[in-house]
Amino acid sequence: MNKSELADRFDRQRVQLRAVAYRILGSLSEADDAVQEAWLRLARTDAEQIDNLEGWLTTVVARICLNMLRSRRTRGEQPLDGFLPEPIIDNPAVGTDPEHEAMLADSVGIALQVVLDTLSPAERLAFVLHDMFAVPFDEIAEMVDRSPQATRQLASRARRRVRDVAPPPDPDMTRQRAVVDAYFAAAREGELEALVAVLDPDVVLRAHRRDGDPLELRGAAQVAQGAMSARRFAPYVRPALVNGAAGAVAFEGEQPFAVLAFTVVGDRAVAIDVFNNPELVPKLDIHGITPSAAR
């Protein structure tokens, strides 16, 4: 196999590998770095000796990502410090960018991404690879230097945490959008009761302003009051898909300054994640969403 043929085979796997890396790392830029490193390793390897190229590449990308996760740690397997997940944003009027399609399944919602960032590297790898990509535990065990049984337990712990903190969003995008639109309509009009009506009683709002732990508001009353205090921005939001779910981008003048991701279950928002870090937001790739169309 010559280098051109090898590059073609790799390119056919690139989107899938990027999806694996993004789900593990929560960062598109780091995911791209991991995929590029996988290509460099493949180029230095005798590809004729690889029986299953797709499986080999997935394993290599996972190992690279595991090392990148560990490099974020200050010690052992303590929760992540100083990392902010990067949401994927698309224009709902034109649909999902094909390059992002593999990364925008329900299981990659922002609420889940936030929970994943609190797991240890080994837990995160075991959960993502097994539950999202059906990689067998015996293969994952080799990556994390544990027995298959211990690796199964890692994934089980992660699964329980995800189930408790990040419920799957409503699959009906029309219903999701209706809840988000009602939220901003109520905020624009200053209608506190209408705001509370579209919020789950136990809703949590997380404001990811800076690296580290987000500022949190809990309960419908607190979150609604917070929305009322920020109502001046409500006319300047534009509908968006954020990690495949209904959300919004807020503009100030010509510049986006915040991304809002909603997790909607039934007819209410159970989680709202606000990304307003002044260093992160300008770097996000906001596909086809312009301030001129902001309402």
CA dist., res. 115 & res. 137, Å (int): 21
Q: Which structural domains are found in the chain, ordered by start?
A: 1-72 (1.10.1740.10), 110-165 (1.10.10.10), 173-293 (3.10.450.50)
Question: How many Cβ atoms are within 10 Å of 253's Cβ, its own excluded?
Answer: 8
pLDDT in tens, 245-270: 899 999 987 888 899 999 999 899 99
Query: pLDDT band for position 5 (50/70/90)?
Result: confident
Choice among 27-31, 79-83, 128-132, 290-294 with the minimum mean pLDDT: 79-83
Higher pLDDT pick, 83 / 74: 83
Mean pLDDT of 228-235: 79
Which pLDDT value is given to residue 232? 78
Query: pLDDT band for position 60 (50/70/90)?
Result: very high
Residue with tokens 């409503």: 170
Whether the CB-CB separation of 273 and 109 falls below 8 Å is answered with no
pLDDT in tens, 159-192: 998 887 777 788 888 999 999 999 999 998 999 9
pLDDT in tens, 136-167: 999 999 999 999 999 999 999 999 988 877 77
